[in-house]
Every structure is written in structure tokens, then in C-alpha cells.
Amino acid sequence: MLKSPKFIATMVILVVMALLPLGVGGYILGLLTLAYYYGVIAMAWDLLFGFAGEVNFGPTFLVGTGAYTAAMLNHYAGWPIPVCLFVGAVAAVVGGAILAVPALRLSGPYFGLVTLVAVLLLQNFIVLFAGTTGGEIGLDIPDVLAIDAAPNYWYAFGFMVVSGGLLYGLANSPVGLILQASGQDAIEASALGFNVTKHKLAAFCVSALFSGLAGGMLIFYLGTVSVGTVVDLTIGVQVIIAAVLGGRRTILGAAIGSIFLIVAGEILRPLGQLSTFVVSAIALVVILFFPGGFLGILQRGEGRS
């Protein structure tokens, strides 16, 4: 494993990525910073979809819960960032568990719908209590992680590498094995003596933890929290597209998909309004012709050798 070319290539890429601030402009760093945060959300989503087999249409419910909790603690109570992040992540886990306990009894489109509705409800809730949450306007956050692009980049990069490592490790650990078995064939997994609901719930909580944390980090980077940044359905859609695009059931592919989406959107920026159109079209073509996503393309080449 440690000597496999795949591992070495990953290490080389990571080192290059870590050293990027020495070579590229602040803008690209800012871009990648966002991509890394969304990457973590997408990886957390893939843990749920690719391994637990549950399609969560509302990743932004978890992200938004974490982000808003952290933001309000910082805005009103002035708590330091790490504490806000921690409490935000806990809130996301609690919210995720409240959502998941009943929702996991459902399957297929129904589970998806409930998670979707959760997002809409959160959105309505934020708007209804505009006095506290800032409503449609959003809430500004006094503290930010860092002002300069490079430290912000390193925060995000470190966060993504650690989260990615943990999620990947978890997915490939014995528990990940059980989770995957539960996602693939719940009946067989339970006949093997595994409490499928327990494992899926745990996966949901882990997914919520990283999503909430990423949401918190993201808003402490942007310095503002608003429905449009962390709750809106379109953000959730981006996350799902990123994960499928990068390659389902790979965890790491989700991060690659996120980076691709944001970077491609930026490279196509001269197209203005059309850039989203073109990025969606590219994603559609990849899904139609390379359903394994980017990592699928890589692995297919490898499988032949």
C-alpha cells in the first residue's frame, strides 16, 4: 500500500497542493479555498450515498445548521472561532440525528424527499426568525479565520486533507465495510448480525459532523452567512453533482469533483452567465458517458493493466 504508485502519486499531488501558495496568485488560492470546503461537504455526502446507500438531497440542511449555529454564536455571544465551530458541528450532528432517526425508516425517493423538505423548512425557519438569523439578508460575522489568501488556503487545505483522510479511512475500515454491506443489501447485512439502522445512523452523524464543520469553516472564511451561501438547494445540488462527477463510492472523487466544478466555473468566467450552462453540460456529458466519474475513468484504465 505505502509503496503503490497510486499512493505515491497522491502524496506528490498533496505536496504540490500544499505548496501552491508559494507559486500562484491569491485569487486562485481563494478559489481553491472554497472548492476545498465544498469538497469536504461532497465527501461527507458520498459517505452517505456511496457507502450507506442513502441519497441525501439535503446536504445543506446539515451544512446550514452547522454554519448558522457557529455564525450566531460568534455574532451574538462573541465566542472564539474554535468553540463556535465545535458547537456548530455538534448542532449539525444533533440536527442530523433528529432528521435521520425517523427518515431512515423510509427508503428511495421518500428518504430523499424528507431530506429535501428539511432544507426547505430550515430555509423558512431562518427567514421567519429574521430578527435573530438575519433572514434573507444574512448575518455578518465579526471574526474571520484569516484575512490573507495563503493562510486561508492552508486552513482549508489542511481541513480537507484531514477530513478526507478520516472519511476515507473510515470508509475503508471494518466499520466502513459493515456500512457498505448495509447500504448494498440491508437484509443480508442484518442476517450477518449487523444492526443496519445503527450503522446508517452513525454514518449520517459522521456526515453531519463534517458537513457542519465545513459549513462553519466556510462562513468564517467568507465573513458572512446567508441562505444563499450555505442553505440554498442549489448549493446542495452542486454538492451532489460534484460527488457523482468525481466518482461515486470513492470519497476522494467527491473532492476532485468539487474542485473541478469551481475551477471550471472560473476558467469559463469570460462566458459570464453562460458559464454555469457550460459546466452543467460538461457534467452531464461525463455522467452520460463515464458514469464512474473522474476516478472511474482513472480506475478503468488501471483495471485493464
Partner 1 sequence: MRGGLLGALLAAGLCLPATARAADPIKFGVIAETSAIGGASIPKAAQLAADEINAAGGVNGRKIEIVVYDDHNSAADAVRAFQRAHSEDKVSAVIASYISEVVLALEPWAGRLKMPMITPGAASDDITKRVHNDYDHLKYVFHGYLASTQIADSVCEAGKQLLVKDMKAKTAVVMSEDAAWTLPLDNEYLKCLPQIGVKVIDHIRLSPDTTDFTPIFNKIEGEKPDVIVTGISHVGVQPTVQWQQQQVPIPMFGVSSQATSSTFWKDTNGAANGVVFQMASAPDVAVSPKTIPFAKKYTAKYGVTPAYSGYTAYDDVYMFADAIKRAGSTDADKIVAEMEKTDYVGTLGRIVFLGRDSQFTHGMKVAPGYITGLMEQWQDGKQVTVWPSSAGTAKLAFPKFVKLGQ
Partner 2 sequence: MSAMLEVSGLIKRFGGLVAVKDIGFSIKGGEILGLIGPNGSGKSTVMKCIMGIEKPNAGSVKLDGVDVAGWPAHRIARAGIGLVFQHARPLHRQTVLEHIILALLPDNLLMLVADLHVRRRAEEIAARVGLAGVMHRLPRTLPFADLRRLELAKAVARNPKVVLVDEPFAGLTAAEVADFSSLIASFRSEGHAVLLVDHNVKGVAALVDRVLAMYLGEYVAEGSAEEVMRNETVRRVYLGGKIETASRPAREGKGRTPLLDVRGLSVLYGKAQALEDVSIHVGEGEFVSVVGLNGAGKTTLFNAISGLVPSTGTVSWRGESLGGRTPAQIARGGIVQCPESRELFGDMTVRENLDLGGQHNPPAEATRLIAWLFELFPILQERQGQAARTLSGGEQQMLAIGRALMMQPKLLILDEPTLGLAPVILELLSKTLERLRQTTDITVLLGEQNVTFALPHADRVYVLEHARVVWEGDPARFAEEAGSGYL
Partner 3 sequence: MLGLQILIDGFAISSLYALGAIGFTLMFGVSGVLNLSHGAIMVVAAVVAWLFAGSYGAGPYGGALVGVLAGVVTAFATYLLVVRPIQTSRSIPGEEKEIFVLTGTLLWGIMLQEAVAYLFTNNPKTVRPLLPGVVNLLGVRTPTNEIVTAAISWAAIGLLWLLVNRTRTGKTLLAASINPRGLTLLGFELSRIYILVWAIYGVLAGLAGVLLGAFLGVSSDNAGTLTASAFSIVVLGGLGSVSGSLVAAYVVGYLETLTAYLISPSIRTVPVLLLLVVVVYLRPQGLLGRR
Which residues of this protein are in contact with partner 1, per CB under 8 A?
13, 16-17, 20, 23-28, 30-32, 34, 127, 130, 135-138, 140, 144, 147, 149, 222-224, 226, 228-229, 256, 259-260, 263, 266-267, 269, 272-273, 275-276, 294, 297-298
Does the protein bind partner 2 through residue 180 (CB under 8 A)?
A: yes
| Choices 27-35, 40-48, 169-177, 274-282; region in contact with partner 2 by CB under 8 A | 169-177
User: In this structure, what is the dihedral angle of CA atoms 41, 42, 48, 49, given to the nearest 10 degrees?
Assistant: 160
Q: Where are the beta strands (DSSP E) in the chain?
A: 139-140, 224-225
Instruction: Give 184 or 234: the residue with its C-beta nearer to partner 2.
Output: 184
Specify whether the CB–CB gap between 56 and 107 falls below 8 A.
no
The H-assigned helical ranges of 47-133 are 59-72, 81-103, 108-128, 130-133
Q: Which of residues 82-111 bind partner 3 (CB under 8 A)?
A: 102, 105-106, 108-110
Q: 59 vs 216, which CB is nearer to partner 3?
A: 59
| Cα angle 222, 67, 247; round to 5 | 85
- The count of chain residues that interact with partner 3, using the rule CB under 8 A, is 38
In the bound state with partner 2, the residue whose beta carbon lies nearer, of 99 and 178, is 178
Euclidean distance between CA atoms 54 and 182, whole angstroms:
10
- Residues in 237-276 at the binding interface with partner 2, rule: CB under 8 A: 249
Query: How many whole angstroms separate alpha carbon 188 and alpha carbon 149?
Result: 50
Query: What residue type is 226 in one-letter code?
Result: S
Residues 6+ apart with CB under 8 A from 161: 14
Q: Count interface residues toward partner 2 (CB under 8 A).
A: 25
Query: Looking up cell 450555505, which residue turns up?
Result: 230
- Nearest CA-CA partner of 220 in 52, 69, 27, 16: 69
Q: Which does 174 bind (CB under 5 to 8 A by kind): partner 1, partner 2, partner 3, none?
A: partner 2
Q: Which 118-157 residues touch partner 3, going by CB under 8 A?
A: 120-121, 124, 127-128
11 binds, among partner 2, partner 1, partner 3, none (CB under 5 to 8 A by kind): none
Burial category of 128 from C-beta neighbours within 10 Å (exposed 0-12, middle 13-18, buried 19 and up): exposed
Written as one letter, the residue type at 268 is L
The least CB distance from residue 111 to partner 3, in Å, is: 9
If contact means CB under 5 to 8 A according to the sort of partner, which of partner 2, partner 3, partner 1, none does residue 192 touch?
Answer: partner 2
Cell digits of residue 2: 505505502
Q: In angstroms, give the least distance from the CB of 51 to partner 3.
A: 14
Closer residue to partner 2 in complex, CB, 137/177:
177
Kindly state the smallest distance separating residue 21's Cβ from partner 1, in Å. Answer: 10
Does 113 bind partner 3 (CB under 8 A)? Our answer is yes
Partner from partner 2, partner 1, partner 3, none binding residue 147, C-beta < 5-8 Å depending on class:
partner 1
182: closest CA among 240, 110, 104, 248? 104
Residue for grid cell 468525481: 246
Closest CA to 246 of 269, 262, 228: 262
Nearest to partner 2 of 181, 219 (CB atom):
181
Q: Which parts of this chain interact with partner 2 (CB under 8 A)?
A: 169-170, 173-175, 177-178, 180-181, 184-185, 187-196, 198-199, 202, 249
